[in-house]
Amino acid sequence: MTTRRILPALTAFLLGLGGAAAQEPKERPHAQKSQETQAELEREVEEMLAAVVRVRMKAIPNARSNATLGPSREGTGVVIDERGHIVTIGYVVIEADSIEITTRDERTVPATLIGYDHASGLGLLRSGGPLGVKPMPMGQAADLATREPVMVLPAGGRDGASLAYVVSKRKFAASWEYLLETAIFTAPPTLQWAGAALVSREGKLVGIGSLYVRETQESGSEVPGNMFVPIDLLKPILADLIEKGRRSGPARPWLGLATEQLHGHLLVTRVSPDGPADKAGVRNGDIVVGVGAEAVKSHEELYRRVWGLGAAGVEVPLKILQGADVRELRLRSIDRFQYFREKPIY
């Protein structure tokens, strides 16, 4: 869709009339009223686009995440309240040395990472100065239906905006000890997914962009698209993130282990340096066989077995196949917050 057509498309999308208002002839009796309605809708669209900001981050020099994410990162954030709080996808801002927010009208202000949630993957920033934008209201991701049209808004205004459809809403398990009970999958894909706003027909924020995926359908047929973290996951922890920087309650045990599901086995593809798995002797190429006496063959099985043992710090009995030998290791799990580094305060 061309830039020239994005604004009418956004307006029609929110209006739900397929552009009828925009196409109504001026000679009709209510043409002036129609034009006023259209102008109001366009103003609301502009306000919505202004709430989507660009996030640029430079990591601290010794950041552990630099090896996989790089020392400089860029993505999108969404202003969600009048206090300057901005939600984004956490991997863009973890272990930050400095963060800058750039608004649609090219004003740049510093920002601070004030909250991070490893369970959802969401990060919360606070602007260091007034942004002068109207916050985007949060909607209900749970109300989204399959095949429902949505708008994907990365930073950049109209140029990056695109229409998409909800392909599926389902469980998502990733290789890096990450599991969502429900994730939103959309197609066609946007290539600017990191932190992008997923907007409902009501003009409300319902998701935050996380990944490009090859398979959005539950059946496994290859329909590429994006995975969004439902905004519903932020609501119950927002106050905690603002006040304490993390959600309340005990932290999940973390092993520092990345695996790939391969023919019914979990192949170790990466071990976080100096993490619990690394210290216990787990190596790339090993196969995770079980947790204690219970076999595991999928990411979900592995994570639920480990998390079911207790809070971070619990000892995890991990059975692995290393070469031709089956080894039983005991890993002392940690809180993932302990692993990532923070900017020194002098």
pLDDT at 158: 83
What confidence tens digit (pLDDT) does each residue in 120-131 have?
999 999 999 999
Position 191 scores a pLDDT of 93
Per-residue pLDDT at 254: 98
242-287 pLDDT, tens digit per residue, is 999 999 999 999 999 999 999 889 999 999 999 999 999 999 999 9
What pLDDT is attached to residue 20?
34
Residue 210 to residue 207: CA distance in whole angstroms: 9
156 pLDDT more than 90: no
Give pTM, 2 decimals.
0.89
Bridge partners, 30 (sequence order): none
Give the per-residue pLDDT at 21: 36
Q: What is the mean pLDDT of residues 70-74?
A: 97
Give the model's pLDDT for residue 180.
98
Give residue 344's pLDDT: 72
- Which domains occur in the chain, in start order? 3-50 (no CATH), 53-249 (2.40.10.120), 257-339 (2.30.42.10)
pLDDT at 4 exceeding the cut of 80: no
Residue type, 124: L
The tokens for 35 are 């034009």
pLDDT of residue 12: 63
Identify the CA nearest to 102 among candidates 195, 232, 235, 189: 195
Determine the Cα–Cα distance for residues 254 and 274; give it in Å rounded to an integer: 12
How much is the pLDDT for 222?
80
Beta bridge partners of 227: 185, 211
